[in-house]
Amino acid sequence: MKRWVTKAVTAAAISFLLLQAGPAAVMAAGDSGQVVKKTTYEKEIPNTLDADIMERKLYESAGLFENEITEGGKKYTLENVFYTVDDIEETWKGEDKTITLTDIREDELPGVGYEITENGVTYIVKDVHVTARAPKPATEEITEDVRYAAGESVPAEITVTREGEDGSFEARLTLTGTEASGEAPETREIPVIYHNYDVDTYSFGGTQVPRNDERPALEGLEGQILASAALDPADWTITDYRWSGAPYESGGELLRNAAATATRRSTAVTAHYRGTHTVEQPDVVTAEIECETVVSDESKLVGMGRIATVHVTAEGVYSPVKSIVPKALLAGAGIVAIAAAVSLILFAAGKKDKKDGKEA
């Protein structure tokens, strides 16, 4: 009986040790080394941010590493990410803006680095995207307004000169209409011929006119002069007299031409003309200009636009995925085997004791 108890205690002790060592051995069998993945990235962080916010923005690592990877047929899960700051560059960055340009030739688009001023703000071009193209009209309309005095002939067509991209050109315009446009002076020149210019006095309609080599002395004869030109003295006024050249001979007689200037106030007429001119132009485009404001020296003094470009190396540490189910099965199998072994020991011990009892 004592020998059976001793064997039972021994079996129980072995079973206890196996139960303690079994799971540890199973766990150890699944262990393997860690896997480290590296990547580098840059972060632009405004230097004016709070330090805690800057740190959070710097170490935002979403998407840097996958949560689970497979290497050599084994699965690994991401356990930790470590960061190392490699370099910090300080730059100045303005506000981004997109400017749309329409109906512009493609060869006239601003290039990268070109400065654009809009509403008093200077921008520097970062990129240019052409979004649409359209052919420019083959003809362009030309208009002209001409003012004429009342009674003055208004032509049905006129020719005008314009400046184009390839130099000047002429265009023929057609009258499209007229309209009154206030009063304007109308002027006429009335010719007067002096016969026998080398005498001291002249007779004009029975009136004696003295000789004056500097200026025709025709004052007081306005009514007769206007009547000679069929102009109504009620509307017209003589405003000036002048010689029209030097004395000359004709038919053995010395002559000299004079002129009287007559004016009147009349209603002016504005004539409207329109025509077209054919032009050869390349297609025009619509473009989106991506710009950035130029940071002024005044802004730099107060820290506006200051950006820190941080170069970071990130290391993702992966550990092997430990399979729980197979280890549990192995542990359970070990317990079953131990229990079976104990049962056999007890059975064998009992059987032996019975045998010993019979022999006694």
Q: Give the H/E segment covering residue 252.
A: none
| Least confident segment among 72-76, 121-125, 182-186 | 182-186
Q: Which band of pLDDT confidence, cut at 50, 70 and 90, is reported for residue 272?
A: very high
**Who contacts 264 (Cβ-Cβ below 8 Å, separation ≥6)?**
185, 186, 235, 236, 237
Do 291 and 98 form a contact (C-beta atoms < 8 A)? yes
Expressed as residue numbers, the domain containing 265 is 140-277
**CATH number for the domain harbouring residue 85:** 3.30.1660
C-alpha to C-alpha distance for 310 and 88, rounded to whole angstroms: 4
178 shares its domain with 77: no
**Who contacts 319 (Cβ-Cβ below 8 Å, separation ≥6)?**
34, 76, 77, 79
Predicted confidence (pLDDT) at residue 238 exceeds the cutoff of 90: yes
Predicted confidence (pLDDT) at residue 21 exceeds the cutoff of 50: no
| Least confident segment among 111-115, 218-222, 252-256, 297-301 | 297-301
pLDDT at 254: 92
| Least confident segment among 91-95, 97-101, 138-142, 338-342 | 338-342
pLDDT at 2: 43
Q: Which band of pLDDT confidence, cut at 50, 70 and 90, is reported for residue 5?
A: very low
Q: Which band of pLDDT confidence, cut at 50, 70 and 90, is reported for residue 102?
A: confident
pLDDT at 57: 63
169 shares its domain with 116: no
Concatenating the DSSP letter of every residue in 300-344 gives HHTTTTEEEEEEEEEEEEEEEPPPHHHHHHHHHHHHHHHHHHHHH
70 shares its domain with 117: no
181 shares its domain with 155: yes
Predicted confidence (pLDDT) at residue 12 exceeds the cutoff of 50: no
Q: Which band of pLDDT confidence, cut at 50, 70 and 90, is reported for residue 297?
A: low
Q: Which band of pLDDT confidence, cut at 50, 70 and 90, is reported for residue 51?
A: low
87 shares its domain with 100: no
Do 295 and 197 form a contact (C-beta atoms < 8 A)? no
228 shares its domain with 106: no
C-alpha to C-alpha distance for 193 and 329, rounded to whole angstroms: 141
pLDDT at 189: 93
pLDDT at 281: 66
| Least confident segment among 42-46, 177-181, 252-256 | 42-46
Best mean pLDDT range from 13-17, 39-43, 209-213: 209-213
C-alpha to C-alpha distance for 106 and 133, rounded to whole angstroms: 9
Q: Which band of pLDDT confidence, cut at 50, 70 and 90, is reported for residue 113?
A: confident
114 shares its domain with 204: no
How many folded domains does the chain comprise?
A: 4
271 shares its domain with 251: yes
pLDDT at 99: 85
pLDDT at 68: 92
217 shares its domain with 164: yes
| Least confident segment among 24-28, 126-130, 139-143, 218-222 | 24-28
123 shares its domain with 214: no
Q: What is the mean pLDDT of the chain?
A: 76
Q: Who wins on pLDDT, 258 or 115?
A: 258
pLDDT at 184: 73
148 shares its domain with 258: yes
Q: How far is CA 75 from CA 67, 68, 78, in A?
A: 11, 7, 10
pLDDT at 335: 54
19 shares its domain with 86: no
pLDDT at 306: 58
